[in-house]
Structure 1
Amino acid sequence: MTNMPIAPSSVGTNAPPCSSRMQRQSRPVSASRRFVSAVAGTAAIALSLCGSPAFAGDPFRTTNQHAIGKNTEAAFKAIFERGDYQAARKYLSQAEPSEPLSYAMKASLAYLDKDWNALRTNATKTRETAEQLRKTDPLRGNLYVAVGEFMEGAYIVSREGTVRGTPQALNKLQRVFQSLNAAEKLSPQDPELNLVKGFMDLMLAVNLPFANPADAVERLNKYAQPRYLAYRGIAIGYRDLNQPTKALEFVDQALKVTPNNPDLYYLKAQVLVKQGKNQESLEFFRKALDKTAQLPRQLRNQIAYERCRTEFRIDQKERNCSTELKK
């Protein structure tokens, strides 16, 4: 949900994945893109990694673990540990058909590819498989019903535009909150729930007036697991609250755990730009682009564009940054 991504990221995706991926000069280019980027990053963040021999991967809990399929787990490990979207696609092509996480990640990748039909199809599959999961695992079932509804709202805004699509998307959000509340009643301190809800609240706070980013940061800091994804979310929150010193602290904590993820290098570059450290940021733009083969084309192009704009701010030499973009 980086840079969620979205960027994921931030993803986003990202997020990043969750790191507000569709940005220009570190700012989202439109309300519609901000909303869709938030959704993609949020859904992606919900899906994670790290295995357990007794279960097919539960990175959130040390007790009362929940199982997911091994191919779904491998796909998320590829993205969130290594930022390798191409490897994730291969695993997702063989992912377990009853696991809503796999469809949520497919929807996130479709968003990054601007494949709106695939976004719609996989968002709906996320919701439908989660509705079935509620029968055996009501906590995660309700949680991913919310994710599916959230991404269906993103599809509506992406296709209808902000003016026409927002009323329908807001209706979806009402159902999102109903499902999240149902999950929260079952286990209010559940780390997976708090990770997903923290990212949702964080991204919505950037785009809508009724969410508080400070509350989302607190939720991520207190309850969310795994920690490096929580750190990443907190960094995004402080970036968007215009507190880059704190943002940098949490990016660095995330990098200590997952030091080879290009989404995190990109996020660190953005934070340094916010601090006015343009020259220093170029190292981290470069590190992110060194892993171009792993990245979706749209994400790679956004990183390259922002690096080009940063170089312009440093040397004030006219340049055509559109030449950095690849088809």
Structure 2
Amino acid sequence: MTKWFSAPQAIVFARVTKLAQTTFAAAIAFNLGMNPTLAGDPFRRNAPHEIGDKTEAAFKAVFQKGNYQEAERYLNQAISSEPNEPLAYAMKASLAYANKDLTSLDTYSKKTLETGQKLIEKDPLRGNLYTAVGNFLEGATMITREGAGGAAQALSRLRQVYQYLDKAEAVSANDPEVNLIRGYMDLLLAVNLPFSNPDEAIQRLENNAAPKYLADRGIALGYRDLKNYSQALEYANRALKGTSDNPELYYLKAQILHAQGKRDNNRELIKEAIANFDTALSKKSQLPTSLVQQIESERNNANNRLKSFS
């Protein structure tokens, strides 16, 4: 399903870029039950693709532990020892975005695109997939650097994103890596576009994406943005079962509880939200500074709302 976009939807692209670290960082994951004869395919138990031990370790640091400092160290090693793996560059770009490092965002977005294109001949599925990711990241860079002035170029990139996603899906429509990344993208766009139906994206994540905890996290994000808080909470709790050490998931759960508590004027939900914000902040030393500031701000808002009940 190729999607075409018009200029007013530049705002949507800007919203999506604000979730770049979750989209590309979170749209690329791993699990521990891998074929030991290959260097880390995080998605497939059958017919695995080779990725790389250092890249895999970086993903483990982010998606199980939520430890960005540890991930950065592994990624620096990956770029040296696994220079042809676009996944490593996509993660570096995501970390640069989180750290508001525009120069590195630009550099690693280009490297993601370049290595994705080079991989197409050897591995058409992942090559086309990361060519799509690279185009998305370059679009994010344009919006970040130029704001509304970069909208036209960014939208052109977004068209290319879906063209290459279609090519990757044509190789294997049920591939878990393809469905994870495309499911995140489709859902993030669907919840921000009027008259869009997010059900297809949710089903893609539910039925064909892997690893499961990261698919559940994406669905929780989608339901949160759709203001379906009971469903969002259910999927956030599912994701926590697989990654209970990740502070970002407690932050997500806190956001859901706070929003539901505001809507329902429910003091107990606000209290539970604050407890989850605090759990996330207990590991703030391993999170990007900008993310910590955002969590602290939302925690303060929740606390002020709790005081209003007195």
Q: TM-score, normalised by structure 2?
A: 0.89
Q: AA paired with 1:65?
A: P
Structural mapping, 1:255-270, within 5 Å: 255-270=240-255
* Letter matched to residue 72 of structure 1: T
d(CA) in 2 for partners of 1:46, 1:242 = 22
> Where do 5+ consecutive residues of structure 1 fail to align?
1-29, 318-327
CA contact (8 A) 1:201 1:211 kept: no
Q: 2:117 is paired with a residue of what secondary structure?
A: helix
Matching residue of 2:42: 59
Write the deviation string for residues 9-40 of structure 1: whole angstroms up to 9, x where unpaired: xxxxxxxxxxxxxxxxxxxxx86752312333
1:240 positional shift:
0.8
From 258, 263, 282, the equivalent of 2:274 is 282
Work out whether residues 50 and 73 of structure 1, in 8 Å CA contact, stay in contact via their aligned partners in 2: no
The answer to whether the aligner puts 1:68 opposite 2:51 as a matched pair is: yes
Which residue of 27, 45, 56 maps to 1:46? 27
- Taking the aligned partners of 1:294 and 1:154, their CA distance within structure 2 comes to 24
Superposed, 1:220-239 pairs within 5 Å as 220-239=205-224
Question: Counterpart of 1:144 in structure 2: which amino acid?
Answer: Y
Residue type at the aligned position of 1:160 = E
Contact 1:146 1:176 in 2 (8 A): yes
8 Å contact kept, 2:184–2:201: yes
The answer to whether the 8 Å contact 1:126/1:147 transfers is: yes
Partner Cα separation in structure 2 for residue 152 and residue 210 of structure 1: 27
- Paired residues of 1:195 and 1:230 also in contact (CA < 8 A): yes
Correspondence for 2:265: none
* Structure 1 pair 97–210 and aligned structure 2 pair: CA distance change class (3 A): farther
Does the 8 A contact of 2:43 with 2:177 survive in 1?
Answer: yes
Find the structure with the greater CA-based Rg. 2
CA distance in 2 between partners of 1:226 and 1:188 (Å): 16
Deviation digits for residues 224-245 of structure 1 (CA, Å, limit 9, x no counterpart): 0000000000111111111000
Matches within 5 A, 1:170-181: 170-181=155-166
Match 2:172 to one of 180, 184, 187:
187
> Match for 1:100 among 86, 91, 99?
86
SS in 2 for 1:68: coil
**What percentage of residue pairs aligned between the two structures are identical?**
52
Cα–Cα, structure 1 residues 192 and 127, in superposed 2: closer, same or farther, change >3 Å?
Answer: same
CA distance in 2, matches of 1:31, 1:289: 29
Q: Partners in 1 of 2:173 and 2:31 — Cα distance?
A: 23
Choose from 198, 202, 227 the match for 2:187: 202
Please give the residue correspondences for 1:206-221 in structure 2 after superposition, counting only pairs within 5 Å: 206-209=191-194, 212-221=197-206
Where structure 2 has 5 or more consecutive residues not aligned to the other structure, the ranges are 1-10, 262-268
Provide closer, same or farther for how the CA distance between residues 312 and 290 of structure 1 changes in structure 2, counting only shifts above 3 A. same
Tell me if 1:296 matches 2:280: no
Q: Which amino acid aligns with 1:254?
A: A
User: How many residues are matched?
Assistant: 287
**1:63 counterpart SS class:** coil
Residues 141-170 of structure 1: per-residue CA shift (max 9 Å, x gap): 000100010010001111111x32221111
CA pair 72-226 structure 1, distance change in 2 beyond 3 A: same
Distance 1:122 1:93, change over 3 A: same
SS in 2 for 1:179: helix
Aligned to 1:91: 74
User: TM-score scaled to structure 1, two decimals?
Assistant: 0.85
Residue 202 of structure 1, CA deviation:
1.3
Q: Which residue, 236, 244, 259 being the options, matches 2:229?
A: 244
Q: Matches of 2:272 and 2:50 in 1, distance apart?
A: 42
Q: Is 2:299 the counterpart of 1:307? A: yes
Q: CA deviation at 1:41?
A: 2.0
Q: 1:131 aligns with which of 117, 125, 140?
A: 117
Structure 1 or 2: more helix by fraction: 2
